[in-house]
């Protein structure tokens, strides 16, 4: 009745922003991401008939913040009448700060919960359970370049290209480690209801997906860079034009973008992307990683820099 799974966060290159079904947490748009290698969340789930309530320990300390969502995730996998669980999570990067901590957490929790009760779920079933807990979590079930297809009644995830076939490097510039003020779930709804750009964002997503898919299949870095930056800035434009506005950037975020522009001007193969937080992820060809890292370390306001390659999907680390 226990299992441990590990999952890596993923960074969307073509973003998910907005829901078409709040109840089932179905996204309004498809998305494409890369799964990272060196950032991780390890999740241990132990079901215990003697417990009267679920318990969550995060990095060694009791933490209730994520508990309701994790409890619902276990209910979805195991059923609401399940024994209560002792959940222990370990994570090596800042939580809820725009680094996709919920993606790796729910992907790992889904895989661990299914194994804890000896259930072998299809990839499709795992994706729909993880995706109900957090849309981006379904993408962390797989490695490399991952597409989440927004089908009529559910979602489907598939690998477009393995991490080994196009081994890009991601340099994450951390400009703030505190949790963000407004979570993505709430911010997406504000955008959907109030942003004058929202419907246009949804309508144009298929074109961006097609361009990115094509770039990944050809391994065309320039094409991927152009569409990923465009899609990122478009998502942030939707957020900025919402009421109240959702501005996740700080001054160091902007300075990091200028650093990336300067690196591009000097001929480096690098592009930026930013999620619902102030961190900047610079995706680059491995030969440029050292220069990208030094340039971001030297950028004013950058608190820390993490460098990672692309990694694999969620997996068990310990059988019951």
Q: Applying CB under 6 A, which residues contact ligand DP6?
A: 12, 15-17, 25, 31, 102, 134-136, 184-185, 275-276
Q: Give the number of other Cβ atoms within 10 Å of residue 140's Cβ.
A: 32
36 vs 117 by CB, closer to ligand DP6: 36
Minimum CB distance to ligand DP6, residue 275 (Å): 4
Residues with Cβ within 8 Å of 120's Cβ and at least 6 positions away in sequence, in order, are 114
Choose between 268 and 273: whose C-beta lies nearer to ligand DP6: 273
Cβ distance to ligand DP6 smaller for residue 45 or 274: 274
Angle at Cα 278 formed by Cα 104 and Cα 157, nearest 5°? 30
Question: Of 102 and 169, which has the nearer Cβ to ligand DP6?
Answer: 102
> In terms of CB distance, is 253 or 295 closer to ligand DP6?
253
CB of 147 to ligand DP6, least distance (A): 11
Using the minimum distance from each CB to ligand DP6, give the nearer residue, 16 or 40: 16
Please, are residues 72 and 156 in contact by the beta-carbon 8 Å criterion?
Answer: no
- In angstroms, what is the minimal distance from the CB of 131 to ligand DP6? 7
Least Å from the CB of residue 137 to ligand DP6? 6
Q: Are 9 and 104 in contact (CB under 8 A)?
A: yes
- Min dist CB 165 to ligand DP6, Å, is 22
Cβ atoms of 250 and 210 closer than 8 Å: no
- Pick 1 or 241: Cβ nearer ligand DP6: 241
Whole-number minimum distance, CB 132 to ligand DP6, in Å? 9
Q: Using alpha carbons, list the distances in angstroms from residue 247 to 15, 125, 253.
A: 16, 35, 11
- Write down the least CB distance from residue 189 to ligand DP6, Å: 9
Strand partners, 2: 46
Query: 153, exposed or middle or buried, with CB in 10 Å at 0-12, 13-18, 19+?
Result: exposed
Task: Using the minimum distance from each CB to ligand DP6, give the nearer residue, 25 or 169.
Answer: 25
CB of 207 to ligand DP6, least distance (A): 17
Strands (DSSP E) contained in the chain are 2-7, 10-14, 19-21, 26-27, 31-35, 41-47, 55-58, 61-62, 85-91, 145-150, 155-161, 169-174, 270-273, 280-284, 304-308, 315-318
Distances (CA, A) of 137 to 155, 253, 314: 12, 25, 10
Q: Considering the complex, what minimum distance in angstroms separates the CB of residue 155 from ligand DP6?
A: 11
Sequence-ordered list of residues with C-beta below 8 angstroms from that of 191, at least 6 positions apart, any chain: 17, 18, 198, 238, 239, 242, 246
Of the pair 25, 242, the CB lying nearest ligand DP6 is at 25
């Amino acid at each position: 009745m226990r299992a441990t799974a590990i999952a890596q966060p993923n960074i969307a290159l073509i973003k998910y922003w907005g829901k078409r079904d709040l109840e089932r947490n179905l996204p309004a748009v498809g998305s494409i991401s890369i799964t990272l290698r060196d950032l991780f969340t390890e999740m241990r789930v132990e079901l215990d008939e003697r417990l009267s309530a679920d318990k969550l320990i995060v990095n060694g300390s009791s933490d209730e913040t994520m508990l309701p969502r994790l409890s619902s995730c276990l209910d979805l996998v195991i059923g609401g009448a399940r024994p209560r669980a002792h959940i222990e999570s370990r994570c090596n990067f800042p939580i809820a700060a725009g680094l996709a901590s919920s993606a790796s957490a729910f992907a790992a929790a889904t895989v661990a919960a299914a194994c804890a009760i000896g259930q072998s779920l299809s990839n499709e079933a795992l994706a729909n359970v993880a995706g109900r807990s957090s849309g981006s979590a379904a993408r962390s079930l797989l490695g490399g370049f991952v597409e989440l297809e927004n089908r009529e009644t559910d979602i489907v995830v598939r690998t477009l290209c393995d991490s080994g076939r196009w081994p890009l490097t991601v340099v994450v510039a951390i400009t703030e480690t505190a949790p963000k003020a407004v979570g993505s779930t709430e911010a997406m709804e504000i955008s959907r209801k109030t942003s004058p750009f929202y419907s246009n964002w949804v309508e144009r997503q298929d074109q961006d997906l097609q361009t990115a898919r094509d770039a990944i299949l050809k391994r065309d870095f320039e094409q991927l860079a152009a569409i990923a930056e465009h899609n990122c800035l478009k998502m942030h434009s939707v957020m900025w034009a919402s009421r109240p506005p959702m501005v996740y950037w700080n001054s160091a975020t902007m300075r990091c973008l200028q650093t990336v522009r300067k690196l591009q001007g000097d001929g480096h193969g690098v592009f930026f992307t930013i999620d619902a937080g102030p961190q900047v992820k610079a995706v680059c060809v491995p030969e440029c990683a050292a220069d990208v890292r030094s340039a971001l370390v030297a950028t004013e306001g950058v608190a820390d820099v993490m460098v990672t390659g692309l990694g694999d999907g969620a997996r068990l680390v310990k059988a019951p």
